[in-house]
Amino acid sequence: MCGIVGILSTTKKDTAIYIYDALTILQHRGQDAAGIVTSHKGRFYMHKSNGLVRNAFRSKHMAGLLGDMGIGHVRYPTAGSSSGAEAQPFYVNSPYGIAFAHNGNLTNTKELEQELFEQDLRHINTNSDSEILLNVFASELGKLEKQRINEKDIFTSITQVHKRVRGAYVAVGMIPGYGIFGFRDPNGIRPLILGKRTTNGGTKYMLASESVALTALGYKITRDIAPGEAIVINRQGNIFTQQCSSVSKYSPCIFEFVYFARPDSVIDNISVYKSRLRMGEKLAAKIQQDWSSEKIDVVIPIPDTSRVSALQLAQKLKVKYSEGLIKNRYITRTFIMPGQKQRKKSVRQKLSAIELEFKGKNVLLVDDSIVRGTTSKQIVQMARDAGAKKVFFASASPAVRYPNVYGIDMASNKEFIAHNKNTDEICKAIGADKLIYQNLDDLIWCVQQGNTDITEFDCSCFNGKYVTGDVDKNYLQGIEDLRSDDAKQQNDTNANSELICNDVE
């Protein structure tokens, strides 16, 4: 899961600072690396680095990012290493010069890499599927053999991309001297939204992963980019759109609404906030039905993502709601930490319990989900150490039992605490007195109520059904080999060794 931004201004040359601000707003989508590329007088100006946006950029970097258009990216690693070599945006010199940022994960990467080498005669320099997607697009655009391009040429190339590429992908790109563009995969698994801001100084257009990046910076939301659709905005501010896939259907990732997206975002006309309210209502109804004999004294959310659901749940149960766990806001999100040891360390640093809210009480802890169980187990123990009489645990989503192959770091089902366990066994593993999960049908209902035109969601991490239809056991084993914690640690070791060798040379 990553965050992407593209901005074009019809007059101002201050695009970089707006991209910086938008990336900061989207920081929750990726904390491994950040990058910005701008264009001025036909040249690219780029800076990217590991770490948070605020650490990756200094005043001297921003001063060098010239231009009236640009794209930005915050990275969340799912494959390869966390080295700076795979920070985005990427760019290629031919044809025309193309800068590119991608969110998602391709499912036919190996085939594409071989095609690019043997047929397209293009070289891939990293383990990132984003670089592969860029080169597929660049190769298709180059086949047109035109000195000057227009929006139709970009649409033609993206149409060919859809024919060759499978998986989850949403991208923004930029061609110097021409403009910016964006496109979304035919299933619409990852989000992309368009906005516009008009001032006395001109008009700015933005493409971003979430609506909050637009609204927080004064942009007016225009609309979501549809599955399979492409959009081009040229230097004059003219907008062109076209459906570039012969088959397309809304199948957005439901985990965006459970965990990844900010509650103040609207994705595909669905309010994330209201979806989470409904999750709390449905979970409360299940607790009332299944736990009628249990006395709950206080509902405490595990901050931050579960707050909305927990508050609504407490209101429906008519039980006291308390912020009994305090989060150190300077610690990043533990789920998207690249390694298990780092996650464990971060949980201990991230949260502290207010003993007054736990001591002698039957406490219901509410979280958005349980993936590896690392956080859950430590927080249950934290509640007991604070004097809780009983510790109940509720998940606003179903049990995560299957890998997510579309850009979320859920690679190996062996790393999931729910792997080969029923609810009672999971409860015992995290040390709770009782555990309850949201039903999948209820979760789908909670999200779908925001936009009933969407009839299908990607729920693969809960039900093992992959909407692209090309994921089998062999593919899942390959993903596990590439993206497990052990594999990432080895990749990082190799990347660091390469950097040391390069320094010596």
pLDDT at 505: 28
pLDDT of residue 202: 87
Average pLDDT over residues 4-24: 94
Average pLDDT over residues 483-492: 57
Q: What is the pLDDT of residues 194-205, one digit of tens each?
A: 999 998 878 999
Distance between CA atoms of residues 53 and 461, nearest Å: 29
Residue at 261 is within a domain = no
> What does the pLDDT read at residue 500?
35
DSSP at 181: E
User: Distance between CA 493 and CA 496 in Å, rounded?
Assistant: 5
One-letter amino acid of 308: V
Query: What's the CA angle centered on 161, arms 159 and 162, to 5 degrees?
Result: 70
Q: What pTM was computed for the model? A: 0.91
Q: Give the separation between CA 465 and CA 157, rounded to whole angstroms.
A: 30
- Same domain, yes or no: 74 and 144: yes
Handedness of CA 309, 53, 75, 352 (dihedral sign): negative
The secondary structure of 206-245 as a DSSP string is EEESSHHHHHTTTPEEEEEPPTTEEEEEETT--EEEEE--
Range of the domain at 209: 3-249
User: What's residue 209's pLDDT?
Assistant: 98
pLDDT at 454: 97
128 and 208, same structural domain?
yes
Residue 217 counted as domain residue: yes
The reply to whether 267 falls in a domain is no
What band does 414 get if pLDDT is binned at 50, 70 and 90?
Answer: confident
Q: Which CATH number fits the domain that encloses residue 398? A: 3.40.50.2020
Does a structural domain hold residue 477?
A: no
By CB atoms closer than 10 A (0-12, 13-18, 19+), residue 21 is middle
Does one domain contain both 190 and 313?
Answer: no
Is 497 part of a structural domain of the chain?
Answer: no
Question: Which residue has tokens 């930005």?
Answer: 72
Q: Which pLDDT does position 499 carry in this prediction? A: 39
pLDDT score for 328:
87
Domain count, the chain: 2
Neighbours of 163 (CB within 10 A): 13
Is 212 in the same domain as 291? no
Task: Tell me whether residue 489 is in a domain.
Answer: no
- 411 and 276 in a single domain? The answer is yes
Does the structure show a pLDDT above 70 at 24? Answer: yes
**Assigned domain for 304 exists:** yes
Rounded Cα distance between 258 and 370, Å, is: 11
Same domain, 176 and 27: yes
pLDDT tier for residue 482 given thresholds of 50, 70 and 90: confident
> Among the three residues 455, 471, 496, which one is the final residue of a domain in this structure?
455
224-245: buried (b, 16+ CB within 10 Å) or exposed (e) per residue? bbbbbbbbbbbbebeebbbebb
Q: How confident is the model at residue 120 (pLDDT cuts 50, 70, 90)?
A: very high
Is 213 found in the same domain as 279?
no
Q: 228: phi > 0 → left, psi -120 to 50 → alpha, else beta; which? A: left
203, 324: one domain:
no
pLDDT digits (tens, 9 = 90+) for 25-50: 999 999 999 999 999 999 999 999 99
Confidence of residue 487 (pLDDT cuts 50, 70, 90): low
Q: Give me the mean pLDDT over the 435-439 stretch.
A: 98
Q: Any idea which residues carry the catalytic annotation?
A: 2
Q: For residue 29, what is the DSSP state?
A: G
Select from 411, 435, 455 the last residue of a domain.
455
Residue 8 CB neighbours (<10 A): 26
> In the predicted model, is pLDDT for residue 419 greater than 80?
yes
Residues 229 and 335 in one domain: no
Task: Classify residue 217 as left (phi > 0), alpha (psi -120 to 50) or beta.
Answer: alpha
Rounded-to-10 torsion of CA 330, 331, 336, 342: 150
Residue 182 sits in the same domain as residue 305: no
Backbone angles phi, psi at 238, to 5 degrees: -80, 135
CATH code of the domain containing 157: 3.60.20.10
> Do 176 and 232 share a domain, yes or no?
yes
Kindly state whether residue 108 falls inside one of the protein's structural domains.
yes
372 and 225 in a common domain: no
